[in-house]
Each structure stands twice: as C-alpha cells, then as structure tokens.
Structure 1
Amino acid sequence: MLDLSLPSGLRDLLPDHSAHLAELSARLQEVFSRLGYRRVFLPTLERLDVVERGLSAAALADVMKFVEPGSGEVVAIRPDITPQIARLYAARPDALPSPARLCYDGPVLRAREARAGRPREVYQAGVELLGAGGPDADAEMLVLLARALERVGLRGAVVEVGHARFAQAVMDAAKLPEKARGPAWDALSRKDEAALGALAVKARGPEKARAALPALAALYGDGALDRGRSLAKAVPEAAGALEEVESALRIARRRGVRDVAVDLGETRGLGYYTGLTFAGYAPGAGSWVAQGGRYDALLARFGRPGPAIGFAVDLEFATQALERANGRGNARAHARPARAAARRGRTARRR
C-alpha cells in the first residue's frame, strides 16, 4: 500500500489555515513597507559555502545539502534567510546603498526539528536593517516588531529584550573553565540558579564575579534592569551591554512601545548575535512568534562589513495565536502566553 505520510517534521496546511497564514504574511509586509522596508524575493537554493559562511557552528547541523546534478556544485536548501540577505547586500552595493532596509517572506527548511512542536519547515516573514548601528537602530527594530505584532491583531503580545554579551561578560570575568562553559550555558537556558552556583565553585575569577554567575538566572521579570545594574557594578565588563539595552528601551518607549520585558540572562542565538536580542510572545502560541537581534559580525564574512540587525516572524505560530484568539483554532484558546511556558525549558535557537 502506498504510504501517503510526510517525512518527519513536515506537515500539510489545509485551505482555511493556509488562507490565514497568507493573510498574515500580507499584513506584515504591508506594515514593513509603510515603515520604509523594501521587499526582496530570494531563491530556495544557495551554494553551500554561502550558507556555511552565514551560520553559527551550531546551526550548520540543520543544513540540508546535496550535489546539484547539472553543475556538480554542492548546494543547500536555505535553513535561514538572513545569510541570503547578507549575500545580496554584499553582491549589489549599487542597488542597496547603506543603510538598507529590506523585508522578505518564504519558507526555510532544516534537517531536524529544533524541538518538539516546532516543524522542520518554517514559514517566515522578516526584516533586516543593514549598515546601521547604535541605539537608534536597535530601537527602530523594537518599535517595528511591536507595531507589527499589534497591527496584525496579536493583542497582548510582549516583546522580550536581552543582550548577547551580558552573560558572556559575567562568565569571562568569573574565569569559568572552558569545559564548564557548555554546562553553564545549558543551566542558564533553564534558569537553573543552583546548577550555576555549583559551577561557580570551579571558577577562578574574583569573588564578586563568581557570585554573579548564579545571579544571571534571575535577571528576568519585574526589576530585571535594577538587578542587572547591581550585577554590573560587581562585573564592570557587563556594563556596556546593559547600557545598550537601556538606551534602546528609552528610545523605543519614547516612540510608544510599552509592553517590553527584559531577560539579561537569555542565551538565544549564542555564538551568532553580538548585541541586543529580542523575541515576541503572544497568548495562544505554542512558542515565540518572532525572534531576532543584532549580528554585527555577519556582513564582514561576505565582504561588506557593517552593523546589522533584524528579526523573523514565525508565520505558523503567529497564525496559531490569531486563530485561537478569534476562536478559530482548537479548544485550547486560553493557553497561557508562550513566554511563561518557555521559561520552564528553553533551547537556544535561530541561526
């Protein structure tokens, strides 16, 4: 008998759900366009060396690659669109002067599931701001994400902000042995203060820096910035990252962004992001609905150095949240926000 099932991690989208997803994508593109972002369409296949140049070491395991029959080149199905944007930006400076504001949508495919419930093929809509750095560019991205989530109907959505270098600065100052770094990042992703405290005993840095290590697990929620300031006094190396977060938030709040949470112990995009990181959470979604950050090291890999920041909306999870909010999804319409659920067991993701 013919097996009509799909490969693991893939799924069909039926007409009603497909229509909702397409409508959401169109509305997001409209928001992006109104705020000055120009749409680009990119191929599904890229040369493997281009894809590899644009991904972190951890993300390379997700690449689907094969030898192209006609040319014999090794090519890859894109697991992320941002490296393609970086390649285009480097290849066409004539058409894309700096700063370039670009938006896109389309599927990406990964070799394995990032975690249970998140499929291998993901439909994204996103934006990239290339060639602009500093707090104004960071705040622009926070404003754009907040407005996009609000204008597509995701009421109650929350943007959560962190920084890629804050926890790194604490670990460096504590002089945690290299073999303990992996377990420390795993513990931090679980907000496991006890495990971080046990690892801090192995550190060789100053006492204040060692004591700060377990404190990273509590740098979220109400008062997170105040606790971060206290920690930065003990570990001055973390002060610069904290100032970048506070500067971006001050500007974003002046521009009307209110629902912002802070998590200075976030491990999202470890090894890829270089500055501000952020994610969007909405009631009814099974996971984050948007994710991104600053990745200033990427463009130089393609030969056109410069700062860059962006985010992608997961259209499937955003549609799920909208369907449940409108009573069109399954009976779990009152599922708690994904941010609260994710707090119990996160894995670092994207790029």
Structure 2
Amino acid sequence: MPISETWLLPDGVADVLPEQAQVIETLRRDALDFLASRGYQLVYTPFIEYIESLSSLSESNQDLDLATFKVIDQLSGRLLGVRADMTPQVARIDAHVHPVEGVARYCYAGTVLHTKPQGFNTTRAPLQLGAELFGSDSLDADVEMLDVMLSLIKTSGHPDSIHLDLGHVGLFRSLVKHAGLSKSVERQLSDLYQRKALPELAEFTQELNFGADFYALGRYASDLDALQANLSAEIFADAAFKQAFDSVKATQSEIQARWPNLHIGIDIVELRSYHYHTGLMYAVYAPNRAAPLAQGGRYDGVGQHFGRARPATGFSCDLYALCAGKFKKIEQIAAPKGTDKALLDAIAALRAQGSNVIQLLGSDDLTSVPHATHQLVNAAGEWKVEKL
C-alpha cells in the first residue's frame, strides 16, 4: 500500500477528535451515573467470544447474525464472533456468571462492531450504551425501561420535541397463529407491513383466513380505536391478541402521564427485529433524523440458550449518534516551566478545580501548546490565569 493511503480508515469507521470525544465521554459518564442511580449495575463484557455464546439472539435474528464478524481462534481452532450487540452477553451473565433470584438490572457501555452499517450514514463501530432488566414479565417493567430510556435521552441534551414510537409484536404474531398461516405467508405479510404497502396488502389479504383483519392491522396500525372498530369480534376475543392490544394502550397511558409533553405514536406493524422480540417494542426519534436515538423492547426467554430462560426487557443507543453534531471547545492553560513551590501549588490547585493545565517543557514557549486558551502568569508575586 502506498504510504499516502496508510492513514485511511475502512468505510464506516472514523476517529473521534478531542472536541467531540469530550462531549461523548461526558455523556457516557453521566449516563452510567444516572443508570446506577436507578439501580442498574455496570458490567463489562469481552469484545470477542465463541460464536455459540453470541448466538442466543442471532439464532432468531438473522440480521444480527449477518452483522457479526467471525474469525478463527488460533489457540483453540474454534469460531469466534466479535460482538455486534451486547444484549446476548448480558443475558449470559444473568444466566450463569452472576445468577440472582428475582429481578436483575444491568447496564453497559462499549464498542460493538458490525460487518456493514446498520442504517443510513451510521458507523460500523457504534459506542453502544444500554440497560437490561431480567426476571419480570410485568407491564411495570416495560414502563420502567421506557421511562429510564427517555430520561437518558433527556440527559443527553436533546429537545422536548423527541417522538416515541410504540408497537407490539404480539398483535401480528397472535393473528398469524389464529389464522394458521405458513411461515412463507407470514414473511410476505411482514414485508408488506414494513413497506407500508397498503394497496399490495389489500390484494394479498383477499384470499387469506381473516384477511380483513390482516388488512385492518396495517390500515389502522396507528389508531388503536379505529383498529378495534374494524377488527372481527373473533380476533379481538383472542386472549393473546387482546393482551397485546391492552398492553400497548396501558403503556401509552402510563408514559404519557409521566411525560405529558412527549409526542407518542403507535405503529403496531413496525416489525423490526420481529423474530426475537416477544412483546412491546419502542424507539425514540429526533426531528429531521431517520435513525432512532434509542430503541428496545421485550425479548422474554433470551437466556434459554444458556439454560435459564427469563423474562427480559431492555434498550440500547449509540452514544456517537446521541452526540452527533455536538462539540465542546476545550480550554487549556499553559503554565511556565519551573519548580518554584508557589508555581507548582498554583498548577495543582487549578487541576484540582478541573482545569486542564500543561506545563511547558525544556526551552518550549507558548507555540508548543497550540490549543492553549489561557496562560498562567506571575503578576506581582501572585500566579494568575490570563486569557490568550
């Protein structure tokens, strides 16, 4: 490779420079402190594991499997995976490494790696931060997780104009089961719902069992009252369908009570990650941004792969995306060289107050600290900070 190309990075990978790294690191610390205050315990997980350990979600989520880099371990000869999502790792911890009775709450922050960008203008190496709650299948657990996610978004400094989308895979899943549809037809319907292709949906559902109900699910996906009015009595009496429907309404009501100014939208046929989510799904969006700021949902039984199936719900976000476009000017104080006690005491005091102080080296002058914004000077025997 020519030396002129050795500094180039792969597509979808980028350096983070000081002015933005400072913003991201501050948010990471604040977010983890906030999660700790809500009872979520911090865990660190390895960047690479045997692929079998990472497959607890990828077995039911082909997208995650395709996003996972795979390499051969030169020590064991076994296949390793570079984590593309930290949720399976936390599930492994809950199942075997740190099993507890009752509810367990964990949080994490670390880089994950994707084989390809997972959305428009996204990085292949997100700095993923998230929280997981194991051991409760109650609506209260879902509401807590949503409230924690929204509070964390607020901590990041995003405006009140954020938008929350709510959905529930149980509506579609129970309707498919009630109608006795094949996996092939189920996949076709899921694709039509994802594309919001109502004319195609109307034609496709004409010959299906409960076709009018499948069409109503897409046609009135954002209006629960209209959906209820257009569903057949048989479907609405289905216990699984009714439970999912009531969960969405109750969650919307409880979140609105906690966040009265939040705009909440319903989309019950938003079926992203449909194959591993088992209940409520949600995502937060900011104005003029296509990708969600954070997203999550319920994925009961995720620990079954490790021999301990537990109810589970959680969310995650990319700190790089949360801080996109945010920069902070870093103030640096240049101090003269020397070992005078008063000078060293002044430098120590400034650093104790949180200031960045760089002491000049050798024969250096201020030009050796190109990013200095202030300097420490001796004025009438007293060390003072002056702006440059």
User: Which stretch has the larger CA shift, 295-304 or 250-259?
Assistant: 250-259
1:21-32 alignment to 2 at 5 Å? Answer: 21-32=24-35
CA distance in 1, matches of 2:288, 2:26: 18
SS class of match (1:199): helix
Q: Does 1:229 align with 2:228?
A: yes
Unaligned runs of 5+ in 2: 329-388
Q: TM-score, normalised by structure 2?
A: 0.76
Tell me the distance in 1 between the aligned counterparts of 2:29 and 2:288.
21
Post-superposition CA distance 1:284-309 (Å, at most 9, x none): 54410101000002122211222000
Q: 1:231 to 1:293 in 2, by over 3 A?
A: farther
2:9 counterpart letter in structure 1: L
Q: Kindly state the Cα deviation for residue 269 of structure 1 after the two structures are TM-superposed.
A: 1.2
* 1:35-74 alignment runs, 5 A limit: 35-55=38-58, 56-58=60-62, 59-74=64-79
Counterpart of 1:316 (choices 317, 320, 325) is 320
> 1:308–1:317: structure 2 CA closer, same or farther, 3 Å change rule?
same
Match of 1:15 in 2: 18
Could you tell me how far apart the structure 2 residues matched to 1:133 and 1:269 are? 19
- Correspondence 1:86 to 2:91: yes
Question: Match of 2:311?
Answer: 307
| Structure 1 residue 197, shift from structure 2 partner | 1.1
> SS at the partner of 2:12?
coil
Change beyond 3 A, Cα 1:215–1:35: same
Amino acid at match of 2:278: T
Q: Give the Cα separation in 2 of the matches to 1:287 and 1:257.
A: 24
1:115 and 1:248 map into 2 onto residues whose CA distance is 28
Q: Does 1:242 align with 2:241?
A: no
Q: What is residue 210 of structure 1 aligned with on the other side?
A: 211
Does the C-alpha gap of structure 1 residues 200 and 144 become closer, same or farther in structure 2, counting only changes over 3 Å? same
User: What is the distance in 2 between the residues matched to 1:13 and 1:219?
Assistant: 43
| Letter paired with 2:79 | V
> 1:281 pairs with 285, 292, 298, which one?
285
Q: Measured at CA, do residues 314 and 220 of structure 1 come closer, stay the same or move farther in structure 2, by a change above 3 Å?
A: farther
Structure 1 residues 191 and 72, CA gap change in structure 2 (3 angstroms): same
So what's the TM-score if we normalise by structure 1? Answer: 0.83
SS at match of 2:123: coil
- Matched residue, 2:195: 190
Q: Which residue of 1 aligns with 2:157?
A: 153
Alpha carbons of 1:53 and 1:177: their partners in 2 closer, same or farther (altered >3 Å)?
closer
Structure 1 residue aligned with 2:348 = none
Q: Is the 8 A contact 2:206 2:212 kept in 1?
A: no
Shift of the 140–72 alpha-carbon distance from structure 1 to 2, 3 Å rule, reads same
How far apart in 1 are the matches of 2:109 and 2:134? 17
Helix, strand or coil for the counterpart of 2:203? Answer: helix
Number of the residue aligned with 2:382: none
Give the one of 107, 124, 131 matched to 2:111: 107
Assess if the C-alpha contact under 8 Å between 1:228 and 1:242 holds in 2: no
* Equivalence for 1:34: 37
Cα distance, 1:251 vs structure 2: 3.2
- Native 8 Å contact 1:219 1:265 kept in 2: no
Query: Which residues of structure 1 form unaligned runs of 5+?
Result: 327-351
Q: Any conservation in 2 of the 1:232–1:239 contact (CA below 8 Å)? A: no
Identity %: 28
Q: Does the 8 A contact of 1:285 with 1:317 survive in 2?
A: no
Distance 2:121 2:308 in 1: 37
1:313 shift after superposition: 1.4
Separation (CA, whole Å) in 1 of partners of 2:260 and 2:70: 41
**Alpha carbons of 1:65 and 1:312: their partners in 2 closer, same or farther (altered >3 Å)?**
same
1:167 partnered with 2:168: no
**Structure 2 residue identity aligned to 1:101:** R
SS of structure 2 residue aligned to 1:187: helix
Q: Which position in structure 1 is the counterpart of 2:256?
A: 253
Moved more, 309-318 or 227-236: 227-236
Deviation at 1:11, TM superposition (A): 2.1
In structure 2, relative to structure 1, the CA distance for the partners of 1:317 and 1:286 (3 Å cut) is farther
